[in-house]
């Protein structure tokens, strides 16, 4: 149950002096004209008093009487702030329904301001309401100046937050467009091979990178990389990796020398605590030979038939940490029907609710069960990993598939 103080008559529901108008001139109709307020209280006289007060200062209001109506109103309309009673008919003193409603509103909208009101002056109730996501607290009977001040402050804060979010979203959109341009728009055609590749960032932008570049009639460079971390910091380092790699590819270096030079470049620009895992292979499509080096990356796998899977190790240190590291180089002959799988740890480490990773075993199993086109296999792998983790990848996930026809 909630109430307004009627001891001194109806004036208590309005500015204490329509007499002291100057003290409230900061709440002008001009400032409030576009603001919509949802009033939730189970007592009609309280809703009426609040509605009259707010309308007299230019706010547009809608009043509802119970938690269900609050949810329905928020689902169908847009509001700038909710003025929310904590006590309803089914729970007149403890504020249980009000607290549940605060939690429900916050689940639906993490930024919508909520000013909670109670007639009981319970500090514990106020603290719990704030912990559940309420923005402000007002005790009944309310002081009009205090209520209006808190109302406008919350509206201003929310509007400023929305402007900042729009700016951030625009920046992320532009960053994502730029990053997309760093990845190959179209994969090269290689005789007797099918190639498919894609990346799925965990955030708007990510730190995964791949490239497939034909450097001669018979040689194609295949590379995949994973920058430690995710988001903008990882994306910035990834763009440096891409620029350095592009400048080296056309020098037709062997994978070991390519890793060595790329590592020296990245050691000069990689922040402390950051690094890049990297795998590079040069495929000679005439003699079906893949020469490769691995700089701390998840070993790619060659799936050969229904029962054989070969890891491509050639292990070396990650890029960006040890400027004098000497990398190994190995090679493998590919046979018709072989499938080369390159991936980042965002794919195999995607975990489910039981914190079980998707794992390399599932990658191999799916490749063995579906020896069809490279694109179909790539889509199957990502779909299976997404199903495993409920669509919530914890890190950027990238896949490159090379299939010998």
DSSP assignments along 202-220, one per residue = SSSS-SEEEEEEE-SSSEE
Q: Which pLDDT score, from 0 to 100, does residue 372 have?
A: 85
Taking 80 as the threshold, does the pLDDT of residue 27 lie above it? no
Average pLDDT of the residues in 64-77 = 93
Higher pLDDT, 124 or 99: 99
Token pair for residue 213?
């570049």
Q: Which pLDDT score, from 0 to 100, does residue 92 have?
A: 52
192-212 confidence digits (pLDDT tens): 999 999 998 887 777 899 999
Which pLDDT band, with edges at 50, 70 and 90, does 1 fall under?
very low
Taking 80 as the threshold, does the pLDDT of residue 168 lie above it? no
Helices (H) and strands (E) in the chain, counts: 11, 15
Q: String of b and e for 103-123 (b: at least 16 CB within 10 Å)?
A: eebbeeeeebbbbbbbbbebe
Per-domain boundaries in the chain: 10-167, 183-404
Q: Which pLDDT score, from 0 to 100, does residue 89 have?
A: 62
Q: Looking at the domain covering 10-167, what would its CATH class be?
A: alpha beta
Q: Which pLDDT score, from 0 to 100, does residue 32 have?
A: 53
Q: Which pLDDT score, from 0 to 100, does residue 14 have?
A: 39
The overall average pLDDT reported for the chain is: 87
Average pLDDT of the residues in 266-287 = 94
Taking 50 as the threshold, does the pLDDT of residue 10 lie above it? no
Distances (CA, A) of 233 to 101, 174, 393: 38, 15, 18
110-159 confidence digits (pLDDT tens): 889 999 987 755 667 777 888 898 999 888 889 999 999 999 999 999 98
Q: Which pLDDT score, from 0 to 100, does residue 120 have?
A: 59
Taking 80 as the threshold, does the pLDDT of residue 11 lie above it? no
- Architecture label for domain 183-404: 4-Layer Sandwich (3.60)
Q: Which helix (H) or strand (E) holds 153?
A: helix 144-182
CB–CB of 206/225 below 8 Å? no
């Amino acid at each position: 149950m909630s109430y307004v103080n009627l001891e001194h008559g109806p004036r208590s529901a309005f500015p204490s002096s329509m007499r002291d108008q100057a003290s409230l001139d900061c709440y002008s109709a001009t400032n409030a004209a576009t603001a919509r307020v949802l009033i939730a209280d189970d007592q009609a006289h309280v809703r009426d008093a609040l509605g009259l007060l707010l309308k007299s200062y230019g706010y547009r209001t809608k009043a509802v009487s119970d938690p269900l109506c609050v949810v329905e109103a928020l689902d169908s309309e847009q509001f700038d702030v909710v003025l929310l009673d904590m006590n309803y008919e089914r729970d007149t003193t403890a504020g249980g329904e009000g607290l549940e409603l605060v939690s429900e509103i916050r689940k639906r909208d993490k930024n919508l301001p909520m000013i909670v009101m109670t007639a009981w002056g319970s500090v514990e109730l106020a603290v719990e309401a704030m912990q559940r996501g309420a923005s402000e607290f007002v005790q009944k009977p309310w002081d009009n100046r205090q209520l209006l001040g808190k109302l406008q402050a919350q509206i201003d804060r929310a509007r400023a937050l929305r402007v900042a979010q729009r700016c951030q979203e625009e920046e992320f959109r532009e960053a994502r467009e730029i990053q997309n341009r760093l990845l190959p728009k179209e994969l090269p055609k290689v005789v007797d091979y099918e190639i498919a590749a894609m990346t799925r960032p965990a955030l708007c932008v990510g730190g995964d990178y791949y490239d497939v570049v034909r450097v001669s009639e018979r040689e194609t460079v295949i590379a995949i990389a994973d920058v430690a971390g995710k988001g903008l910091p990882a994306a910035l380092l990834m763009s440096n990796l891409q620029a350095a790699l592009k400048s080296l590819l056309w020098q037709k270096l062997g994978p070991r020398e390519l890793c060595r030079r790329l590592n020296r470049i990245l050691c000069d620009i990689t922040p402390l605590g950051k690094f890049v895992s990297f795998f590079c292979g040069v495929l000679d499509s005439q003699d079906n030979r893949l020469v490769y080096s691995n700089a701390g990356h998840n070993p790619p796998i060659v799936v050969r038939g229904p029962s054989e899977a070969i890891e491509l190790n050639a292990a070396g240190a990650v890029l960006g940490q040890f400027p004098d590291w000497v990398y190994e180089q190995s090679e493998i002959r590919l046979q018709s029907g072989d499938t080369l799988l390159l991936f980042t740890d965002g794919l195999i480490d995607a975990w489910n609710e039981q914190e079980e990773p998707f794992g390399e075993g599932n990658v191999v199993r799916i490749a063995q069960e579906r020896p069809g086109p490279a694109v179909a296999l790539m889509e199957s792998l990502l779909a299976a990993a997404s199903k495993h983790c409920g669509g919530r990848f914890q890190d950027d996930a990238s896949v490159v598939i090379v299939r010998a026809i």
